[in-house]
Amino acid sequence: MPEEDAARRATPQDVCAPLTRSAIFLVLDVSPGGEAAARDLLAGLAGLVRSVGFRSPAARLSCVAGIGASAWPRLFAGPQPAELHPFEEVVGRRHRAVSTPGDLLFHVRGEEMDVCFELASLVVAGLEGSAAVVDEVHGFRYFDERDLLGFVDGTENPTGAAALEAALVGAEDAPFAGGSYVLVQKYLHDLSAWNAIPVEEQERAVGRTKLSNVELGEGAKPADSHVALNTLADVDGRPAQIVRANMPFGRLGSGELGTYFIGYCRTPRVLEEMIANMFRGRPEGSSDRILDYSRPVTGTLFFAPSVDLLEDLPPPPARG
């Protein structure tokens, strides 16, 4: 069918790229009148990645660009991705997932921070005077892909064809096939409180053993553990998956230590259900135990278009 053919032909951005040692996450707001510069930067992003990456091929530099719901109609005429909308705040009995603004996301990653920093610098310079950085996080790999809580992060990430199936829009929204919805949240950890509780209690909160990274059995895994609340099934009873690219980050002087959550999915409904389960509970009231020690200070939804769309942008909207 034509729609299925279009979905197969679309080339995605590197949303399923393997985890690297370093990453920079940039969220920017486009200033009034800055739309043309933002369009130019998006159209030329692949060239910037090639220019920087060519200098250090072993660094495996890549960058994914995402566009927020409020920015899309300012940048492009015509339809927008079917499920793109502002992230809605989730309020539970004890915890809250905040919603924060953001027009553009740049997820820069590579094996070395120098190439990430160089590319991020070029992005910011290209948008100088046209967009303001509202959040910037420099992430790093922590030992064997652990977070600062000491647990391996991203164990259940799909790989290969399963990752593409989970992350990429298909024929259901053919004009935007090959794109991906991406949700970001910056979590700050209270490591003093977390490290004060016994390892066994930490394991019950996460739902995995800390040293060996083995999921607890059904009889030992609490219903309000992180693993239990993030396990979803689709309409056919199969696991509903996302592609995570989370990274630890930290600033010792300010005590700002945490995890930058970034999840890619072909529909934001899966991401939003996971967050609703964490903050409201399943059943309601039994919120994720990790939230007693980790709180989000940002929350924004973006759409990462296919490479094809970025190379041939829709026309700008008519100016009244």
Enumerate residues 6+ apart whose C-beta is below 8 A from 34: 127, 129, 130, 131
Longest dimension (CA), the chain: 63
Q: What are phi and psi of 97, to 5 degrees?
A: -95, 110
User: What CA–CA distance (Å, rounded) separates 122 from 205?
Assistant: 41
The answer to whether 71 touches 27, Cβ cutoff 8 Å, is no
Separation CA 252–CA 250 (nearest Å): 6
d(CA 316, CA 29): 18
**E-assigned strands of 169-311?**
180-189, 243-244, 247-251, 256-265, 294-296, 300-304
CA dihedral 113, 303, 18, 233 (to 10 degrees): 140
Instruction: Give the Cα separation of 147 and 104 in Å (integer).
Output: 26
Give residue 246's identity as a one-letter amino acid code.
N
Residue pair 246/262 in contact (Cβ under 8 Å)? The answer is yes
Minimal CA–CA distance to 294: which of 196, 210, 223, 194?
A: 194
| Residues designated as active site | 153
